[in-house]
Amino acid sequence: MKAFITRHPWWSAIIVAVAVGWIPYAGWVIVIVAWLAILVMRVRAQPQVPAKREVATLSPPVSATVVPTPEMRNLTEEVSDTKLVRLEIVGMFHYNFPASVIGATRLRLIREPRNPHDSNAIAVRQGRQQVGYVSASVARTLAPVLDANGISKMDVAGYVSSPSDGYVDVPEWTRPGSAAPARTMAELALIEPWGRPINRVELDGTGTFEAEIGAICERLGASGYGEPARLSDIEGAMTLAPSKRVGLYVDGLQVGWLPDDAQSAYRDPVARLAASGSAVRVTLSIWMARDYKFTAYVSGMLSDARQIEVPYGMPDGAVAVLPVGGKVQVTGEDQYLDELLAVLDGEQTAPVVAEMVSLVKRTARTEKTVVGIHIGGEPVGELTPHMSEHFLPVVAACEEEGVTLVCRGEVIGNQLKADVNLYACRGGDLPPSWISDNIYGDSSPESAPTSVAEPADSKTGNGGRQAPRRMAGDDWADDE
């Protein structure tokens, strides 16, 4: 009844005036019965607040590490070690939101620096529906922290318990004096993952990022109206969001999250790269339609989580990293089974940095130069004479310039048999810009991960950076 009166004061006044003025004797009875009926309907329609509230209500805010409802667990389980601060949502009675909003546990904070009433305003929304605001006193301290970290939108856990009551839980680092994220998206350098993209993953939460996905599609010439937008080969970035979950971004705009079953595998390597000022480059595709309602599917091609960072075997000194190419089989590895087992260290597969060197093979009558393969400074095999012809000119040029030539590799095997596979672009497919920058230019160990960030594509010859293209279907190019 209180919520009805506060949200509909004029209707309440009219009911009282009409009932008392026109029916002086029975008016008050009618008013009381009507209000009791409204109250009963409201109580029945209102969802039950969870009986076990493990987090105390905040006023003033206090720290919390547990969320009260099962629906919030998916959103917050990845940040269970991050302290949360509970903030009350105010001004809810001004917004006549539908009953479906009541019980919502996934909310979004929106900075409104151009709000005519308060430049520090922070709105609270559920999807497109405005729910209320963070109180002005809290926004005065919270808004500068968000602005300083370049955050205009933040997905948070919360709970809308009634049309006039709700809260949001925000990370403790948003409080003044707390440690904020070290870098924003604009400050992160994109690096190529060491391993080849082999896993296609469909992102979660795309409905939350309707505005961002729509803006990206329109920027690339596909509005999603009339005909669905189908775009592929979109350069994206994978890094940690402020909530400590792994998110995917395009031009600084978030388009989704890694699904829950992939979060735990990718979080640690992505976090280490983020701490060093880097984000992982990924290739994304988007399908989006907006005729009847917004629908979007975003997927990305990811390397194995263990092959995101540069693995064992990177040599010291000046290094040139060959771009990813087709599979190349190493021969003669049977003679180095002990060395390969040490690299595997009990695992069946291990990503490695493979070094290419010139190796002279002498027989009684002939002498032939092939490409030898080293891992961690130790020989592990060689390329066949025919395959060596594709790489020897590059190896010779690097050795002449004092540069070590390396490529991506993988050791697969067990105590009985071990194989070494390389994934490297052949010499004839390298663009002149890669040769100039990596062999005759400035290449150092410190810049090695960055040099991987501009791989050449044997199909395009443009340094690996393709313009986003429209999809006719599910057609992902395979270097092999």
**pLDDT, tens digit (0-9, with 9 covering 90-100), for 289-316:** 887 778 889 999 998 888 788 887 788 8
H/E stretch holding 216 reads: helix 210-219
End-to-end CA distance of the chain: 69
In degrees rounded to 5, what are phi and psi of residue 209?
-110, 45
Number of domains in the chain: 4
Beta-carbon count within 10 A of 211 CB: 12
Residue 27 confidence (pLDDT)? 59
Same domain, 196 and 288: yes
CATH number at residue 104: 3.30.70.2330
- 41: its two tokens: 């309907």
- Residue 63 above 50 pLDDT? no
Residue 148 confidence (pLDDT)? 65
Amino acid making up residue 186? A
Query: Cα(335)–Cα(333) distance, rounded to whole angstroms?
Result: 5
C-alpha triplet 304, 307, 310: angle, nearest 5°:
165
Residue 448 confidence (pLDDT)? 39
Query: Cα(409)–Cα(268) distance, rounded to whole angstroms?
Result: 22
Instruction: Answer yes or no: is 476 within a domain.
Output: no
b/e sequence 75-98, b meaning 16+ C-beta within 10 Å? bbebbeeeebbbbbbbbbbebebe
Q: Cα–Cα distances in Å, from 271 out to 244, 265, 281?
A: 8, 11, 14
Same domain, 13 and 144: no
Return the sign of the alpha-carbon dihedral for residues 363, 369, 374, 380: negative
Instruction: Answer yes or no: is 55 within a domain.
Output: no
Residue 413 confidence (pLDDT)? 92
Q: Which of 21-35, 100-114, 290-304, 418-432 has the lowest mean pLDDT?
A: 21-35
Of 307, 342, 361, at which residue does a domain stop?
A: 307
Q: What percent of the chain is predicted at pLDDT more than 90?
A: 22
Same domain, 94 and 222: no
Same domain, 329 and 260: no
Same domain, 159 and 262: no
Same domain, 225 and 254: yes
Instruction: Answer yes or no: is 313 within a domain.
Output: no
Is the bond leading into 60 cis (omega within 30 degrees of zero)? yes
CA dihedral 444, 445, 449, 451 (to 10 degrees): 20
Question: Cβ(193)–Cβ(239) under 8 Å?
Answer: no
Instruction: Answer yes or no: is 373 within a domain.
Output: yes
Same domain, 165 and 79: yes
Same domain, 330 and 464: yes
Same domain, 464 and 373: yes
State the burial class of residue 11 (Cβ atoms within 10 Å of its Cβ: 0-12, 13-18, 19+): exposed
- Residue 76 above 50 pLDDT? no
Mean pLDDT of 122-131: 89
Q: How many CA atoms lie within 13 A of 251 on its CB side?
A: 9
Same domain, 146 and 275: no
Amino acid making up residue 59? S
Question: Cβ(111)–Cβ(172) under 8 Å?
Answer: no
Instruction: Answer yes or no: is 57 within a domain.
Output: no
Instruction: Answer yes or no: is 479 within a domain.
Output: no
The whole domain housing 264 covers 185-307
Mean pLDDT of 262-289: 88
Residue 388 confidence (pLDDT)? 93
Residue of higher predicted confidence among 394 and 50 = 394
Confidence category of residue 128, pLDDT binned at 50, 70, 90: confident
Query: Cα(154)–Cα(243) distance, rounded to whole angstroms?
Result: 8
Mean pLDDT of 5-27: 62
Residue listed under structure tokens 């029916």: 23
Instruction: Answer yes or no: is 81 within a domain.
Output: yes
Same domain, 73 and 32: no
Residue 328 confidence (pLDDT)? 93
Interval 192-223: pLDDT, tens: 888 778 889 999 888 778 888 888 888 888 88
Interval 362-406: pLDDT, tens: 877 888 999 999 998 899 999 999 999 999 999 999 999 999 999
Q: How many CA atoms lie within 13 A of 292 on its CB side?
A: 0
Query: Cα(281)–Cα(193) distance, rounded to whole angstroms?
Result: 7
In degrees rounded to 5, what are phi and psi of residue 420?
-120, 120
Of 307, 341, 356, at which residue does a domain stop?
A: 307
DSSP string, 129-182: EEEEEE-HHHHHHHHHHHHHTT-SEEEEEEEEEETTEEEEEEEGGGSTTSPPPS
Of 174, 195, 210, at which residue does a domain stop?
A: 174
Give the bridge partners for 381, in sequence order: 373
Instruction: Answer yes or no: is 224 within a domain.
Output: yes
Same domain, 418 and 285: no
Confidence category of residue 4, pLDDT binned at 50, 70, 90: low
By 3-state DSSP, what share of the chain in percent is helix, strand and coil, each rounded to 5? 30, 30, 35
Query: Cα(468)–Cα(24) distance, rounded to whole angstroms?
Result: 74
